[in-house]
């Protein structure tokens, strides 16, 4: 299992992914789920993956092969990011069915985002069936993998007007919440911040398990949650509050 999130804002894009592929008492393995493809000044495309590892590796290998062979359709020549999402969906279906017959245990999901010159930055979630969705004003983020634990803070904090620095911090807290509740999500954590219209990737970070910054995020978020909880109105107030509302 994994957890990846992409956040699409007016200011640009933020991508965050964990790297854990297996977790047990004596068997923990990692594999990066973030991949970048691009031509500086023309396009930058970031790909996040979740699902069956053999399938996701097969998709990445095919994408790289198509680029090397300068295939008629590849990530370095598609005219729009929506076309990139369609292309990845097709490659994914082919890999799911290549050796497995398309069984659900071999499914994979992807988030593809970035910017192609002449178009706005976008992000798409590609399903195992090959179809895709994008972000909206109400939900400016996409998640794949173990998404439920990290969703609440994204819903409460993010808007299209948020800065990409806010998005990065929000995404890292979302990741911390997920790691806290699920052992099968864990470091290293990969982060890319992409300011709109730059067409280069120069803000890329990788936080190992020993990262002091990750520990500080965990410690600070934990303390602030407890502080907020302690300041909540006690349940004893509820009867007076509700009665006063009924009498008004």
First to last CA, the chain: 51
Contacts of residue 217, defined as CB under 8 A and 6 or more positions apart, other chains included, come to 169, 172, 173, 176
Nearest partner of 187 among 13, 63, 34, 68, judged by Cα: 34
Q: What is the pLDDT of residue 23?
A: 46
* Residue % of the chain over a pLDDT of 90: 77
Assigned domain for 22 exists: yes
pLDDT in tens, 40-60: 999 999 999 999 888 999 999
Assigned domain for 245 exists: no
Assigned domain for 239 exists: no
pTM: 0.89
Q: What is the pLDDT of residue 17?
A: 96
Inter-CA distances, 161 with 137, 180, 223, Å? 10, 29, 27
For the chain, the C-alpha Rg in angstroms (whole number) is: 20
Query: What strands lie across the sheet with 141-145, from one edge to the other?
Result: 141-145, 3-9, 12-17, 189-195, 204-207
Q: Binning pLDDT at 50, 70 and 90, where does residue 101 land?
A: low
Checking if the pLDDT of 25 tops 90, the result is no
pLDDT in tens, 113-170: 999 999 999 999 999 999 999 999 999 999 999 999 999 999 999 999 999 999 999 9
Q: What is the pLDDT of residue 53?
A: 87
Query: What strands lie across the sheet with 132-134, from one edge to the other?
Result: 34-39, 43-51, 108-116, 122-126, 132-134
Nearest partner of 112 among 188, 28, 50, judged by Cα: 50
Distance of CA 99 to the CA centre of its chain: 28
Inter-residue contact 4 to 33 (CB < 8 Å): yes
Range of the domain at 108: 3-232
Q: Which of 97-101, 109-113, 207-211 has the least mean pLDDT?
A: 97-101
Q: What is the pLDDT of residue 152?
A: 94
Checking if the pLDDT of 28 tops 90, the result is no
Assigned domain for 62 exists: yes
Q: What is the pLDDT of residue 240?
A: 64
Assigned domain for 32 exists: yes
- The alpha-helical segments, DSSP class H, found in the chain are 53-68, 81-98, 151-157, 164-181, 212-230, 238-247
Assigned domain for 237 exists: no
CA distance 234 to 231: 9
Please provide the size of the chain in residues: 248
Checking if the pLDDT of 26 tops 70, the result is no
Assigned domain for 48 exists: yes
Q: What is the pLDDT of residue 24?
A: 47
Tally of domains within the chain: 1
Checking if the pLDDT of 38 tops 80, the result is yes
Q: Binning pLDDT at 50, 70 and 90, where does residue 21 land?
A: confident
**Residue 14: CATH number of its domain:** 3.60.20.10
Between 245 and 171, whose confidence is greater? 171
Checking if the pLDDT of 94 tops 80, the result is yes
CA distance 92 to 128: 7
On the CB side of 46, CA atoms within 13 Å amount to 32
Q: What is the pLDDT of residue 248?
A: 54
Assigned domain for 179 exists: yes
Q: Which of 76-85, 101-110, 227-236 has the least mean pLDDT?
A: 101-110
Q: What is the pLDDT of residue 233?
A: 81
């Amino acid at each position: 299992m994994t957890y990846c999130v992409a956040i699409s804002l007016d200011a640009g894009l933020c991508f965050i992914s964990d790297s854990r592929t297996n977790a047990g008492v004596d068997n923990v393995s990692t594999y990066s789920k973030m991949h970048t493809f691009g031509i500086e000044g023309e396009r930058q495309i970031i790909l996040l993956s979740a699902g069956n590892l053999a399938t996701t590796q097969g998709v990445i290998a095919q994408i790289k092969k198509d680029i090397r062979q300068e295939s008629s359709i590849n990530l370095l020549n598609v005219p729009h990011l929506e076309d990139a999402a369609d292309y990845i969906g097709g490659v994914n279906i082919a890999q799911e069915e290549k050796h497995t017959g398309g069984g659900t245990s071999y499914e994979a999901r992807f988030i593809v985002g970035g910017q192609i010159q002449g178009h706005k930055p976008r992000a798409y979630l590609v399903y195992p069936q090959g179809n895709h969705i994008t972000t909206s004003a109400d939900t400016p983020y996409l998640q794949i993998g173990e998404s439920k634990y990290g969703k609440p803070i994204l819903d409460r904090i993010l808007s299209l007007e948020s800065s990409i620095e806010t998005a990065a911090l929000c995404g890292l807290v979302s990741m911390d919440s997920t790691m806290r509740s699920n052992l099968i999500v864990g470091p290293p954590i990969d982060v890319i911040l992409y300011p709109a219209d730059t067409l280069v990737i120069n803000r890329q970070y990788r936080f190992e398990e020993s990262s002091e910054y990750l520990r500080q995020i965990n410690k600070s978020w934990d303390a602030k949650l407890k502080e907020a909880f302690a300041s909540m109105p006690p349940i004893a107030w509820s009867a007076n509050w509700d009665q006063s509302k009924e009498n008004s």
